[in-house]
Chains A and B, each alone.
Chain A
């Protein structure tokens, strides 16, 4: 057998695909109009198997396969595990939601599993063509999932809006890929990196066509990815889409595809285009500052919890981009850590929202949460943990995420960006705390005080897992951060040449090699 066809490198993707097909085959055999919890549990086991497959990959040596299409190293395994965990928790949180909204489970769980295949593949692909196809798999499955509340007009609006604007953004990404191929003669991340470094086209050795073309290509790809992560000039769709889409789906699409898209952005900006760093630096800087400011200001005005969390997710994309602007190894590690910590708290917050929304998502405005502290103390405490973590209070994952990001920014002398970020964190505290205040200080509204708030086992498990992870990341971030650092080491093209490369957990001997922006931002 051809050694290139290394199925071990593809194991999580294969497991998820097979499981998705099994879900589709089993669904018609189940009795109609019954609860589809069994199918959900089956899909959940599939994601657990994928997590196990990813963890098993840590035992095989890091390397590329399938003709240099994918690379499995600590960076991609970190994102594999993260994305599969997100899908697992979202599936757990969906059991009772699907029953209360009368959504058919077969396609729902199938699309989540197939979408996860795309996201997982995005984090390990090192070839722009494969990245594009994986991006499309993850995007199209979320477009469809957004429209699953078939009886509600806002859900259809959400799906259509997401689809049209998303396709537009994908076109930008594709145009960027085409121009990058024109400029460097390759679509492989590592060949692009060496061409941009040496100035010689791959194979023929002809001089690089034009650096300008490479800059434009990186900018266009940034536009495409910027849409997927909802960063500022490309964020307009976010509140409407999040408002209409089913709440568990929002939990998925505000974290899973986002984490995968950030992994792709790390691969492109740091793996391939580090030499054009002075070109994309201001792009990322402006996008980060705009995302933080517009996201937080927009969130202040919202009365709907889903819209508020949508603006908050725009702001968090901004904080994450600050780590990109730092352009250092610790910046990469901070970005990876932030993606994990944000996933834990945001999936948890949306799980509470989807549990509380009831059939037809009736209770989603902030005033509906009044008196939740009395009606269901446990639910209120969990939501409070997530809100405090989203603010960035110490002893929660959000604190260390923000701390590492701003630490990396300060080490790169990004003083102004850090100040903008800190001011924004203070502004953000207002609207997160408002929800907490409404829960504990206000009296329950008449009639709804008696509303039954029994937590089903699946939802309870989802809440316990996310809350525990949020606090664990806030109390003992060391292990995850160490892993993020080792992932960051694998990202640079230099690591590609020495596959067995393992750096010590502390210190960054190679840090000086990254060209720093000398001129401005002081």
Chain B
């Protein structure tokens, strides 16, 4: 019961934040509402029993990535967006497409309602300890190889950002 109430509260906050993100005209306001979305998502993950993903969501997305966003916006000194009339393609294809997708989803869930079954919230609880064991045993090689990936990303940034004499 408490789970359900919390789910509804944070779900509404999440969707409201996402809508606000799209409707705001100033980039800083959009970025700040994205933080709200990320935070609400983290709590939804926590409700599902994914404590590690929730923590990572806060640290990486709400923390690091958003700080980067806000810094870039401030460095570029971005002003208020100019209001365009919107492309015609978006109106003629986007809105009917969205409605069609919504109807399809309703139909897909409605027609399979009996076959979908139920899962208790939090029944997929995976403790962080198990994640750590998987990461440093079965997934040791991908984990180590990621360091090569990060290395070439750094090299690429250095090469492309260096001033050419």
Chain A interfacial positions (CB closer than 8 Å to B): 5, 10, 17, 24, 66-67, 69-70, 107, 110-111, 114-115, 117-118, 121, 127, 129-130, 133-134, 136-137, 140-141, 143-144, 147-148, 150-151, 159
B148 x A137 contact (CB < 8 A): yes
Q: A137-B145, A141-B156, A144-B160 are in contact. List 12 more A-B contacts (CB 8 A).
A: A5-B140, A69-B138, A69-B141, A69-B142, A111-B152, A114-B152, A129-B142, A137-B152, A144-B156, A147-B160, A148-B159, A159-B160
**Known contacts A107-B158, A117-B148: A140-B141 contact under CB 8 Å:** no
B149 touches A111 (CB 8 A): no
Q: Is the CB of B145 within 8 A of A67?
A: no
Residue of B nearest to A67 (CB): B138
| A141/B152 in contact, CB under 8 A | yes
Query: Which residue, B151, B152, B160, has most C-beta atoms of chain A within 10 A?
Result: B152
Q: How far is the CB of A269 from chain B (nearest CB, A)?
A: 22
CB <8 Å contact, B141 and A114: no
A-B pairs with lowest CB-CB distance, top 4? A144-B156, A66-B141, A67-B138, A150-B164
Cβ of A141: which chain B residues have Cβ within 8 Å of it?
152, 156
Interface presence of B16 (CB below 8 A): no
A78–chain B nearest beta-carbon distance, Å? 21
B residues at A contact (CB < 8 Å): 137-142, 145-146, 148-149, 151-153, 155-156, 158-160, 164
The reply to whether A130 and B145 form a contact with Cβ atoms under 8 Å apart is yes
In contact, B159 and A144 (Cβ under 8 angstroms): yes
- Tell me, in angstroms, the Cα distance from A306 to B13 when the chains sit together: 53
Residues from chain A with Cβ under 8 Å of B139 in the complex: 67, 69, 129
- In the bound complex, residues from chain B placing their C-beta under 8 Å from that of A114 are 148, 151-152, 155
CB distance from A36 to the nearest CB of B (A): 14
Interface SS of chain B: helix
Known A-B contacts A118-B148, A140-B149; the reply to A107 vs B155 at CB < 8 A is: yes
Q: List 11 A-B contacts (CB under 8 A).
A: A67-B139, A67-B140, A69-B138, A114-B148, A114-B152, A114-B155, A115-B152, A118-B149, A130-B141, A140-B152, A150-B164
Contact in complex: A151, B164 (CB < 8 Å): yes
- Name the CB-closest residue of A to B155: A107
Contact between B148 and A67 (Cβ–Cβ < 8 Å)?
no
CA distance A40 to B152 in the complex (A): 18
Q: Are A111 and B142 in contact (CB under 8 A)?
A: no
Residues of B within 8 A of A147 (CB): 159-160
**Overall SS of chain A's interface:** helix
Instruction: Tell me the minimal C-beta distance from B9 to chain A in angstroms.
Output: 28
Return chain B residues, CB-CB under 8 Å to A70: 141
A144 x B152 contact (CB < 8 A): yes
Is B148 a contact of A17 with CB atoms below 8 Å? yes
A148 to B141 alpha-carbon distance, docked (Å): 30
Q: How far is the CA of A205 from the CA of B147 in the complex (A)?
A: 36
Closest to A65 in B: B141
Collect the chain B residues with CB atoms within 8 Å of residue A66's CB: 140-141
Closest residue of A by beta carbon distance from B138: A67
- Contacts A67-B140, A147-B160 given: A121-B145 contact, CB under 8 Å? yes
Which partner residue on chain A sits nearest B146 by CB separation? A133
- The answer to whether A130 touches B142 (Cβ under 8 A) is yes
Give, as a whole number of angstroms, the nearest-CB distance from A99 to chain B.
16
By a CB distance below 8 angstroms, the chain B residues around A137 are 145, 148-149, 152
**Residue of A whose beta carbon sits closest to that of B157:** A144
Q: Chain A residues with Cβ under 8 A from B149's Cβ?
A: 118, 133, 136-137, 140
> Are the C-beta atoms of B156 and A133 separated by less than 8 Å?
no
Across the interface, name the chain B residue whose C-beta is closest to A134: B145
Contacts of B160 in A (CB 8 A): 144, 147, 159
Residue of B nearest to A5 (CB): B140
> Shortest CB–CB separation between residue B59 and chain A, in angstroms?
21
| Closest chain B CB from A3 CB (angstroms) | 13
Min CB gap B150→A, angstroms: 10
A137 to B164, CA, bound (A): 25
Tell me, rounded to whole Å, the shortest Cβ–Cβ distance linking A126 to chain B: 11
- What residues of chain A lie closer than 8 Å to B148, measured between beta carbons? 17, 114, 117-118, 137
Residues on A with beta carbons closer than 8 Å to the beta carbon of B156: 111, 140-141, 143-144
Complex Cα distance, B156 from A24, in Å, reads 13
Given the complex, which residues of B lie within 8 Å of A144, measured CB to CB?
A: 152, 155-156, 159-160
Would A111 and B140 count as touching, CB distance under 8 A? no
State the CA gap A130–B153 with chains docked (Å): 17
State whether B141 touches A107 (Cβ < 8 A). no
B161 → A minimal CB distance (Å):
10
In the complex, chain A residues whose CB is within 8 Å of the CB of B155: 24, 107, 110-111, 114, 144
With the chains together, A134 CA to B145 CA distance in Å?
8
Closest A residue to B139 by beta carbon equals: A129
- The interface residues of chain A lying within 8 Å CB-to-CB of B137 are 67
Which chain A residues lie closer than 8 Å to B151 at the CB level?
A: 114
Q: Which of B139, B146, B148, B149 gathers most chain A CB within 10 Å?
A: B148
- Contacts of B164 on A, CB cut-off 8 Å? 150-151
CA–CA, A70 and B145, complex, Å: 12
How far apart are the CA atoms of A206 and B16 in the complex, in Å?
Answer: 38
Smallest CB–CB gap between B114 and chain A, Å? 15
Q: Which residue of chain B has its CB nearest to the CB of A115? A: B152
Task: Tell whether, in the assembled complex, residue B159 and residue A107 are in contact, meaning their CB atoms are under 8 Å apart.
Answer: yes
A130 contact set on B, CB distance < 8 A: 141-142, 145
